[in-house]
């Protein structure tokens, strides 16, 4: 790990998700308008499936906040790196285990590099409710994303 120390990153919000279970199955609240600051409230929603052993990221956003929900199926290793020069937690790396065994929301502010890996044996589902539209209104703007996963010299390693 180059230049990063383990710790908690300022501005990242991690919340356990409570499953309400009954004879029909279960229900969770992913988002509540009264629990999220207005500047990070979702602008869109999407669901992705990640295959076992596969990682998405690491990447970061300039303006976008990601609002991930890891509910299952499967479990994920989520890795965050504070790459914000003006942050009190710059150069801090945070690792979170989330998913079926430990449902969580993970809210990632702009400038925090992030990635996640399906560490289970089945396809894993992740929901995201970012506060910006992908490629802007009508998909007419540049995508707000800096990708690090293709760089051989990247200091952001998922498996350290």
Residue boundaries of the structural domains of the chain: 5-144
Task: Report the phi/psi class of residue 3: left, alpha or beta, with left for phi > 0 and alpha for psi in -120 to 50.
Answer: left
- List strands edge to edge, sheet with 55-60: 5-6, 92-99, 75-82, 112-118, 55-60, 146-147
With bands split at pLDDT 50, 70 and 90, how would you rate the model's confidence at 2? low
With bands split at pLDDT 50, 70 and 90, how would you rate the model's confidence at 113? very high
Q: pLDDT tens, 11-39?
A: 999 999 999 999 988 899 998 889 888 99
CATH architecture of 5-144: Sandwich (2.60)
Query: Which residue is it, tokens 């004879």?
Result: 23
Q: Write down the pLDDT at residue 57.
A: 92
Task: Report the phi/psi class of residue 119: left, alpha or beta, with left for phi > 0 and alpha for psi in -120 to 50.
Answer: alpha
User: Residue 18: is the preceding peptide bond cis (ω within 30°)?
Assistant: no
With bands split at pLDDT 50, 70 and 90, how would you rate the model's confidence at 150? confident
3-class DSSP assignment, residue 152: coil
Structure tokens at 95: 């690792």
């Amino acid at each position: 790990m180059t230049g990063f120390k383990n710790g908690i990153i300022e501005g990242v919000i991690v919340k356990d998700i409570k499953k309400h279970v009954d004879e029909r199955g279960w229900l969770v609240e992913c988002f509540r308008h009264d629990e999220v600051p207005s500047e990070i409230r979702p602008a869109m929603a999407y669901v992705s499936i990640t295959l076992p052993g596969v990682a998405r990221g690491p990447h970061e956003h300039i303006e976008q906040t990601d609002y991930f929900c890891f509910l299952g199926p499967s479990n994920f290793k989520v890795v965050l790196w504070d790459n914000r020069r003006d942050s009190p937690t710059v150069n801090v790396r945070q690792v979170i285990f989330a998913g079926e065994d430990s449902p969580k929301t993970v809210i990632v502010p702009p400038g925090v590099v992030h990635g996640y890996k399906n560490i289970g044996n089945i396809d894993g589902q992740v929901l995201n409710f970012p506060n910006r539209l992908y490629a802007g209104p009508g998909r007419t703007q540049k995508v707000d994303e800096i990708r690090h996963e293709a760089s051989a010299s990247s200091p952001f390693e998922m498996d350290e």
